[in-house]
Amino acid sequence: MDRWLAEDKWNHVSGSFMATTILMLFMPWYIAAIGVTLCGGYIEAWQEEAGRDRASWKDLVANTVGIALAVWVRR
């Protein structure tokens, strides 16, 4: 079951937040946000294709929350 408040979702939020924050040191916020979004989507697709896990929209939402928080805090 893919719960909204699972530890996995916290990992997605914090990981996306950190990745976006770090990238924003070297590039404009919107390019960092797009890059982290694409990477998160790629990871979800890879997990599904490799049979490791099912792709989860909730994971993508958690990634988006982390990215939005990073942009909000850093801007």
Residues contacting 22, CB < 8 A, separation 6+: none
Q: Model pTM greater than 0.85? A: yes
Residues 61, 12: Cα–Cα separation, whole Å:
9
Highest mean pLDDT among 3-7, 20-24, 48-52: 20-24
The DSSP H or E segment spanning 24 is: none
Residues 3, 59: Cα–Cα separation, whole Å:
10
pLDDT over threshold 80, residue 2: no
What's the confidence (pLDDT) of residue 39?
A: 97
pLDDT over threshold 70, residue 1: no
What's the confidence (pLDDT) of residue 59?
A: 93
